[in-house]
Amino acid sequence: MMLEMERDFESKLRLQNNSNNNNSNNNGVQRSRSIAFRAPQEQFTIHDFEMGRIYGVGSYSKVVRAKKKDTGCVYALKIMDKKFITKENKIQYVKLERIVLDQLDHPGIIRLYFTFQDTYSLYMALESCEGGELFDQITRKGRLSEDEARFYAAEVIDALEYMHSLGLIHRDIKPENLLLTADGHVKIADLGSVKPTKDSKITILPSAASEKACTFVGTAAYIPPEVLNSSPPTFGNDIWALGCTVYQMLSGSSPFKDASEWLIFQRIIARDLKFPDYFSEAARDLIDKLLDTDPSKRLGAGPHGYAALKKHPFFKGIDWHNLRRTSPPKLAMESHSGEEDDGPSWNLTHLGDDPFQQVPIEKSGAASSSEAHSHLSRLASIDSFDSKWQQFLDPGESIIMISKVKKIQKITNKKVQLILTDKPKLIYLDPSKQIAKETIVWSDNPNELSIQVANSSHFKICMPKKVLSFEDPKQRAWHWKKAIEGLQNR
């Protein structure tokens, strides 16, 4: 299966000298049996790079800061597990993302430089955005000023207008997928869910657009009501998500936030939308028009398109023609007084093993104990964490997961470092003082230690005499549940 998949990617994504054999099929999307890629498929190996911190983890990939040893160029290296992609039928998503990224050319969209692969993984070298996620800016500042939100929203609109003009629907616009350059300009990232329309100007491979028309894609809090009703995707989907993002920038939380995805969906369908008192009239009116229940009437997706959206009073003062030359808001940097980033660094101990043997993070169904153990042992071997946490580990003990989370208490919430090891052991500690607060008594018996997930951010660790509630701002609640249950089922 591995060799077959490797041949498949090499044959369908290899560099071609001629791409003039395009043809149009019934739905109008230009398709080709081969594509001349701007970003070449190189013969590099992972050894050609110095691997740094992990930017993010997905269901079948990790994005790692990587410096090319011979040039010193820094990339965000997206590393995708071939076996998992094949098993979960994600091949067309990976192909489509690679093909679409290669053809996009806009300062507001992440750039793809080159790809390469080995026996186990596919690699995409993407533009490294040293400013991090827009989500992080919202979290660090609590909420953004209207001037800040106006600038970021304008740059997102500028990039979305370009994508929509090419007949592409992003389908997962949210603060986590809006990255910032070192000087603070927005780049739209994560095009794994992109959907070409029938009039798309992007050339794609036939096998890269085989998704069903009404496939459920996106993140719960940003999904528009028509998607919940199984309607085909439209440009209005992205406009709705833009409205949710503007609301979140100005308030610090998404407009339909609730305790579970089901409750979030009910609020979306009912359009249960409330504005804080400090929202200006212009901000309320903009969000109200972006979150119209009729996707064809949303500002930007209506008959007057983006011209009407850009003329909205909220964007008064924006120089649309010189947007990328305008000075962006000042970035709120990470605090380094006990508030360090808890992201892991990377080492090469996984080479020769089968890296990224991922277990899908789902809301129902459990992975087999052998799969879970394999997944966790590999995570332990490939993630090398800052030595400052080693004082809490026994010899030979490895960290499986680590996050800076909020411990939810009746009166106050406190940031703590939550650590899961392969011993197995669960501890949480004060990250500023690096003092262990408590070691959670481990048990393989789910009656004595269980994990309850309320939504993607909130989860509880339940013991016979105590329940600890946590909020993970990176929305990894289900990852915590799977990791802990995987260790219990070894």
Catalytic residues: 172
Count helices and strands in the chain by DSSP H and E runs = 12, 21
Residue with tokens 């979140």: 248
Structure tokens at 131: 């400013």
In whole angstroms, what is the distance from residue 345 CA to residue 333 CA? Answer: 19
CA 485 to chain CA centroid, nearest Å: 24
User: What six digits make up the tokens of 150?
Assistant: 């106006």
CA 221/CA 79 separation, integer angstroms: 27
Cis peptide before 424 (omega within 30 of 0): yes
Residue among 169, 176, 254 nearest 217 (CA)? 169
Cβ atoms of residues 35 and 22 within 8 Å: no
Q: What single string gives the DSSP state of each residue in 111-151?
A: PEEEEEE-SSEEEEEEE--TTEEHHHHHHHHSS--HHHHHH
Tokens of 191: 């095009």
Question: What residues pair up with 408 in beta bridges, in sequence order?
Answer: 469
β-bridge partners, 115: 41, 124
Q: How far apart are CA 439 and CA 426, in angstroms?
A: 6
Give the ranges where 213-304 is alpha helix by DSSP (H). 225-228, 235-251, 261-270, 281-290
Please state the φ and ψ torsions of residue 147, each to the nearest 5 degrees.
-65, -40
Tokens linked to 186: 């927005």
* CB 36, CB 19: distance < 8 Å: yes
CB contact at 8 A, 346 and 383: yes
Closest CA to 431 of 329, 338, 301: 338
Termini Cα distance of the chain: 26
The C-alpha atoms of residue 484 and residue 449 are separated, in whole angstroms, by: 9
Segment (H or E) for 302: none
Whether 61 and 123 have beta carbons less than 8 Å apart is answered as: no
CA–CA separation, 126 and 169 (whole Å): 20
Distance CA 401, CA 429 (A): 14
Burial of residue 237, with CB atoms counted within 10 A of its CB: 0-12 exposed, 13-18 middle, 19 or more buried: buried
- Output the CA angle 57-61-65, nearest 5 degrees: 65
